[in-house]
Each structure stands twice: as structure tokens, then as C-alpha cells.
Amino acid sequence: MIQGSCHCGGVRWTLQERPASVTACNCTLCRRYGVLWAYDYEGEGIGVSGPTTVYVRGPDIELHFCPTCGCVAYWRSQYLDDQQRRRIAVNVRLTEPHEVASVPIRHFDGLDTFEALPSDGRCVTDYWF
């Protein structure tokens, strides 16, 4: 299990398994926040706790922040999918670097094409120099 928390410790998340990859996105939000996302479903592979402040982006996504220290902890879908599951992603920058250092980074063009980009071979440790 991998755990993460905001700077003050008020908001926490857990990943049941080490992610196969994390995503760096260049959309108007992600590039400003500098986040790296690991995805799963709420209450399944990902658990979250603690009070948050929510920013709703468009009709689909809630971004959850710690109301005390301001860290971006996770996003979650506002809707359930066809199997009644809620998609969620946690910001892996809120864990200790050694927990995810060798996890490969996927790049996603959320700004222009909304498509995955080719891998460049980097992993999380390359972002934490």
C-alpha cells in the first residue's frame, strides 16, 4: 500500500497497489498544479480521507484541495460510470519519493489533442531531481 498526504497531514489518500504508471498532463489545470496522477476507483483501489475544499472544473471533475495548506490531493468524477463506480486520481507528489520513484510517467496532451503521447522513458524520480 502507498500512502500520501497534504503538507499539514489533514488530507490523506491510499493506493492499494503501486501504480503501473502515473500521468503528467499539460491541460490548463494540471500544468499549473504540477501534479502527477495515479488512477483507480473510489473505495476500490483508492481511499481518501480528510476535509477538502472543492473546485469543480466543467461538468465532470472535482479537484480536492486541503483547506489548510492548499495542496491538491485528488480529483474525482462527479458521476458514476455504467458499473456504478466513481473514477478518482490521487496526486502522487504527495507521497514519499522512494515509494513511486521508479514508476513510469505517461504524458497526456490535455491541452490540444486529448490523446496519450509517446513514452519518453522518464519515471517519477526524473521529476524529483
Domain count for the chain, please give it.
1
Name the band, by pLDDT with cuts 50, 70 and 90, for residue 128: confident
pLDDT at 57: 87
Q: What is the pLDDT of residues 56-108, one digit of tens each?
A: 988 889 999 999 999 999 999 999 999 999 999 999 999 999 999 999 999 99
Domain that holds residue 12: 2-127
Q: What is the mean pLDDT of residues 42-55?
A: 96
61 Cβ contact partners less than 8 Å away, ≥ 6 residues apart = 75, 76, 77, 78
Give the pLDDT confidence of 26-35 residue by residue, as tens digits. 999 999 999 9
Report the pLDDT value the prediction gives residue 58, as an integer from 0 to 100.
Answer: 82
| Domain CATH number, residue 70 | 2.170.150.70
Distances (CA, A) of 127 to 23, 24, 68: 12, 10, 26
User: DSSP string spanning 61-114?
Assistant: EEEEE-TTT--EEEEEESS--TTS--EEEEEGGGS-HHHHTTPBEEEEETTTT-
